Amino acid sequence: MKKTEKKINVAIDGPSGAGKSTLAKALAKKLGINYVDTGAIYRTVGYAAFEAGIDPSDREAVTKMLEGITVEVKFEDSVQQMYLNGRPLGDLIRRHEISDYASRVSAIPEVRAFLLETQRETARNGGTIMDGRDIGTVILPDADVKIFLSASVEKRAERRYKELIERGDSRPYEDVLADIRERDERDSSRDTAPLRPADDAVFFDNSEIGLDESVEVALEIIKSKTRRRGKRCGKR
């Protein structure tokens, strides 16, 4: 791969369970760039509220909490690790109740402002593929490639349900589906940075295809976008 191709920034946005992180991880490996999971960053703030016994929807209390915490993203063997107040959180942020806490704190404007630089900083040292909800619109508006990844709500619930079973969590499918519907509604109806595609994002619905094919489609999108961008910049 040419050196210039390694420096690209790719933004992948979309709703919960669309497979953004699985796809982004596979793409990062193929392209030799870092993968940044911004959901994990919001989960860290959600975890901080959970641990402190703070209502994640209480804007004032959460905003006050921000004054006393530090959130850091580190890459250990190219794998993202979240640190809260200097302590690595590992899989604690993946707990079921933390999904709800993260979704609630992420609707608070002060939380989004608090995490803005942390997210941008991760993309400063070269190529990055970052996934989230407002990467193409707010965090990296100049990203070389923006993909809006989605799938039907039933497919997304099915995938999340299987994932939970693998982790030993046997919640009924109907509960998982209801949770995803609720998070979709909250993530897209909030006033601050609601989930919406960037004007220049490429839509990609992967309901009917598996990971390998999704990677191929996404690589094609990345190739065609970077080729076009290169031409506009006068490169060959």
Catalog residues that contact ligand DC under the rule CB under 6 A: 16, 38-39, 42-43, 99, 102-103, 106, 132-134, 183, 187
Write the DSSP string, 20-72.
HHHHHHHHHHHHT-EEEEHHHHHHHHHHHHHHHT--TT-HHHHHHHHTT--EE
Which is nearer to ligand DC, 127 or 132 (by Cβ)?
A: 132
Residue 36's nearest CA partner among 86, 72, 88 is 72
CA 182 centroid distance within chain: 18
Q: How far apart are CA 11 and CA 8, in angstroms?
A: 10
Cβ–Cβ < 8 Å for 149, 195? no
Which residues are 88's β-sheet partners? 83
Which is nearer to ligand DC, 188 or 224 (by Cβ)?
A: 188
Which is nearer to ligand DC, 154 or 235 (by Cβ)?
A: 154
The nearest distance, CB 99 to ligand DC, in angstroms, is 6
The nearest distance, CB 29 to ligand DC, in angstroms, is 19
Which is nearer to ligand DC, 21 or 207 (by Cβ)?
A: 21
The nearest distance, CB 44 to ligand DC, in angstroms, is 10
| Token pair of 96 as six digits | 């079921």
The nearest distance, CB 210 to ligand DC, in angstroms, is 20
Which is nearer to ligand DC, 16 or 150 (by Cβ)?
A: 16
The nearest distance, CB 38 to ligand DC, in angstroms, is 4
Please report which residue ranges of the chain form alpha helices under DSSP H.
20-31, 38-52, 59-66, 96-105, 109-122, 153-166, 173-189, 211-232
The nearest distance, CB 2 to ligand DC, in angstroms, is 30
Residue 121's nearest CA partner among 159, 153, 80 is 80
Cβ–Cβ < 8 Å for 127, 36? no
Which is nearer to ligand DC, 5 or 51 (by Cβ)?
A: 51
User: What is the dihedral angle through the alpha carbons of 139, 145, 151, 155, rounded to the nearest 10 degrees?
Assistant: -90
